Amino acid sequence: MVNNPVVTKEKGDFLVRLRHSASHVMAQAVQDLFPGVKLSIGPATEDGFYYDFDYEGTFSPDDLPKIEERMKEIIAQDLPFIREEITKEEALKFFQERGEIYKVELLKGIEDERVTLYRQGDFVDLCRGPHLSSTGGIKAFKLLSVAGAYWRGDEHNKMLQRIYGTAFPTQEELDAYLARLEEAKKRDHRRLGREFDLFSINEEAGAGLVIYHPKGALLRTILEDFERREHLKRGYQLVMGPQILKLDLWKRSGHFDNYKEYMYFTKVEDQEYALKPMNCLAHMLIYKSRQRSYRDLPLRYFELGTVHRHERSGVLHGLLRVREFTQDDAHILCRPDQLHDEIRGILNFVKDVMAIFGFSYELEVSTRPEKSIGSDEDWEMATKALMDVLDEGDLAYEVNEGEGAFYGPKIDVKLRDALGRRWQCATIQCDFTMPERFDLTYIGPDGGKHRPVMLHRVILGAMERFIGILIEHYGGAFPLWLSPVQVIILTVTDRNIPYGEKVYQCLWQEGIRVEKDFRNEKLGFKIREAQMQKVPYMLVIGDREQRSETVAPRRRDGVDLKGMPVERFLALIREEGKLPGG
């Protein structure tokens, strides 16, 4: 586990100013060194900053040290960051004269009559700020990489060149961050996925489509079995919906109008269908299949539902961003008076599961986006319900304005892994609108029809994404209960193979996930290979173990345990390998 400094709000605000200032210094350095470069945008990010450039040449990693040296010269000049407020028309003229076409396009999209520029020395940028008082405040920075990025994230626009960097208040913090980056490279799930033979993504099959190899499929199955059991314990019912549904349903739900750019469509016998990007529609049809009483509620439908979303090829990334994935999706239909208890139950579920995997997490409430459906009243009730439960539980959260789902606000759970990185996984969405659109009702104690509320929620989120996060979180060294291979048997010589086979059969019949390495190779070589594969236990079988009918367990951390009978080892592994909560 890597320790990470706590970032307070005040420190977070300073980091934004620091990194935003560093992005402007980098842009100035790039324009100084590469005449003809045009500027687009250069924001601060959670871990650093970047700037996108339009340049006829090609930046390479070899250019980064030169840019860094020029940045140091600019920093040494201690140039003040000067804020200037001018009219939009003046700004348009200024950037048009400089040939800064991207700044002109940005200005044309701004409705305000006055805009702000920031100047350091001869460098001027369209910017709202904030910045440090001068370039000399930048003490520790590093340029990290070069990548391509479409202007405004649209693949139909020109491909620009993005230079990434980071900055910290002190050299010690920068060094610690760079060490975490190196560790992250070692843990990259794409590399470990190949080394451990877990999965592949083959261009012959299609971009963003995951092919699970035997060990990867077993890992996923273990997770899915864990999910089913935990949901059944909490009163969920297992359901399954079809992969395609008629287009009319997606129009009624609002997905066609608000989400169609992410959907795939097909036609069968002149009937239009869409592959499901979400699982909620089938769950509502199950609810609607018969009349419901207030006594039936809440109903909690759970599905490990595979969905398809049209993600642009430029954003696809290993298991973390794919086009086909499976969600641990559930929809809870409840009475309004049950809403708080159901939200609270989901939050407790999240807490229990994140503790099992060793994740800390933070909470955000995401509110109504511009592109949405439903009445203001429904959105206000849904948002209030989520915030009330968080407030009642004294749970800290931030408000993420305008980032809700198109049908309702949500609580987003941002977990932190062993390297301190944040990942979006669990979410709880409160929806008053879909039950209205699909005319979902229940009979109340007064004999009249009433409208239920629907909660959409996931705990792990997309299984593919969560597996990718787990691989990097554990560095491939999964806990025993989760390891696709729990034990590997290593023989010293060929004459030990018959006893090794006997031990293998004993473990296999007891449900232990066991492999054998009976190759005619040196024992040290076989041990190193097993350690590289992060197998939790190695059982060395030599002449001594064969004579005494024992095994010599060796843990993947290199610790040798004393020889013991097979039954004692079985008891040890059963205890350590218990499924959490089992």
Active site residue ranges? 280, 309, 327, 329, 331, 410, 456
Is residue 201 classed exposed, middle or buried when 0-12, 13-18 and 19+ CB atoms within 10 A define those classes?
middle
Residue with the two structure tokens 């939790």:
536
Which residues, in sequence order, are CB contacts of 14 under 8 Å at separation 6+? 169
Cα separation, 286 vs 275, in Å, equals 18
Nearest C-alpha neighbor of 155 from the set 261, 60, 56: 261
Contact 180, 419 (CB under 8 A): yes
Which amino acid belongs to residue 508? W
What is the DSSP pairing of strand 49-54 with strand 82-87?
unpaired
Q: What is the DSSP string of 199-210?
A: EE--TTT-TT--
Pairing assessment for the beta strands 324-334 and 140-150 based on DSSP bridges: unpaired
Residue ranges with strand state E in 394-486: 398-400, 410-416, 422-431, 442-443, 449-450, 453-462
Amino acid making up residue 30: V
| CB of 304 closer than 8 Å to CB of 463 | yes
Q: Which residues of 545-580 are buried (b: 16+ CB within 10 A; e: fewer)?
A: bbeeebbbbbebeeeeeeebebeebbeebeeebeee
What's the CA gap between 110 and 95, in Å, rounded?
Answer: 14
Beta-carbon-side half-sphere exposure of residue 540 (alpha carbons within 13 Å): 22
What residues are paired with 450 via a beta bridge? 442
C-alpha pair distances (Å), 440 with each of 10, 284, 293, 382, 452: 47, 8, 12, 17, 7
* Pairing, β 49-54 against β 38-39: antiparallel
Alpha helices, H only, 296-413: 339-357, 376-392
HEC string of 495-550? HHHHHHHHHHHHHHHCCCCEEEECCCCCHHHHHHHHHHCCCCEEEEECHHHHHHCE
The set of residues, in sequence order, having a beta carbon less than 8 Å from that of 562 and lying 6+ positions away, is 552
Kindly list the distances between the CA atom of residue 296 and the CA atoms of 137, 291, 441, 449, 453, in Å, as whole numbers in the listed order.
Answer: 63, 10, 12, 14, 14
The DSSP call for residue 563 is P
- In whole angstroms, what is the distance from residue 145 CA to residue 525 CA? 37
Contact 325, 306 (CB under 8 A): yes
Burial 245-256 (b: 16+ CB within 10 A, else e): bebebbeebbbb
